[in-house]
Structure 1
């Protein structure tokens, strides 16, 4: 690749990210006005201020657009957990409880999730978080693994992967079946997963006391 080509790459990537953000934001706006079954690619293109061909080139299809939106929801999950960890250093139970509470609150208000849960059945959306959930699971697990490795948890890659994979799988399962009022889902997830985090931290502390390397 030429030097000129290398110099243009960051701009091209930034422009593509701006396009995707504009399109997905436009889609979110439309979903606050109408059900997903009534939203077309033409509607989204018009709302985002781009051509339908540009939309096709970037997302491929209506299903591809929904998948990209769902990936952004997966990013929200990771970000909420990260914020929970940052706000509760050393407290695994509070970290997970706070992170999941914020995620469930955010998901409940998301227009695509609300569309999934209301009106007629939408098998295309349901497949995104069930039978076809692998891309979301892999994406969120990879990002969350890095969070657990580089936060105060200081987990190894293997430890973080196990924790992240379990948390993401459980969290995604709540999308089509939201937490019911008489169950405290964030607290239950915290009770289930926090001991694993506490064990990681404890082992790391023992190793440090004995002068052994953490990883």
Structure 2
């Protein structure tokens, strides 16, 4: 029975998040209200409040879910390029930047921020959870296993720089995803291997 309740709750949360995603993509975060979300999800407003509590809690859950989706895609890019740190980082960043251009929720967040409605943008930029800490933890573990020749300090520095710069370019792009990824991958390679004096991360 406990497992059944957990499954029902998981389905309910996914239903609500899907409804909220569609409404934010169509109307923007600033105009989102919980009552229309409940109607779109086919549940009562009280049920929605019981599950999420507030609009801000719902926003956190939305960003957390998109972060998980991004990290799955990033891992696939890393897996496909394990023979080279530079190639792997470049592919992962190119995926992230291109996905941010195509993702309806991310586009709505960034568009709102340019109009001064930036409360949800904080989860991508100034607030550590869930984006920064999640990405850092996943990449720390991955790179330590895939490229053990990189010393821990250089690895940590490289990851922090890459995550922050990638988020910065998501918010304010200055070139194509491919060109930005190429430049950031070169920075990552040089940062990761500068301490040991190695010239290649292959």
Larger CA deviation: 97-106 vs 38-47: 38-47
What is the distance in 2 between the residues matched to 1:146 and 1:154?
10
1:193 pairs with 2:158:
no
Give SS of 1:106's match: helix
Show the counterpart of 2:15. 22
Number of residue equivalences: 195
Pairing 1:110–2:99 present: no
Q: Residues 59 and 149 (structure 1 numbering): CA distance in 2 closer, same or farther, change over 3 Å? A: farther
**Which consecutive unaligned segments of at least 5 residues does structure 1 have?**
1-6, 204-215
Q: Distance in 2 between matches of 1:68 and 1:137?
A: 15
Compute the TM-score of the two structures, normalised by the length of structure 1: 0.74
Residues 92 and 197 in structure 1, CA contact (< 8 A), matched pair in contact too: no
List aligned pairs for 1:55-134, cutoff 5 A.
55-118=48-111, 120-134=115-129
Find the counterpart in structure 1 of residue 32 from structure 2: 39
* Distance of aligned partners of 1:78 and 1:167 in 2 relative to their CA distance in 1, 3 Å threshold: farther
Moved more, 126-135 or 103-112: 126-135
Q: Secondary structure at the residue paired with 1:123?
A: coil
The 1-side partners of 2:175 and 2:104 are apart by 19
CA distance in 1, matches of 2:129, 2:44: 30
Are residues 20 and 182 of structure 1, via their aligned partners in 2, closer, same or farther at CA, if it must alter by over 3 Å? closer
What's the counterpart of residue 169 of structure 1? 164
SS of structure 2 residue aligned to 1:32: helix
Task: Please report the RMSD computed on the Cα atoms of aligned residues, expressed in angstroms.
Answer: 3.2
Higher RCO (Cα < 8 Å, 6 or more apart): 2
Say if 1:58 and 1:157 are closer, same or farther in 2 by CA, change over 3 A. Answer: farther
Match of 1:153 in 2: 147
**TM-score normalised per structure 2:** 0.78
Partners of 2:149 and 2:49 in 1: CA distance: 41
Pick closer, same or farther for the CA change 1:182–1:38 going to 2, 3 Å. Answer: closer
Q: 3-state DSSP class of the match of 1:95?
A: helix
CA contact (8 A) 1:22 1:48 kept: yes
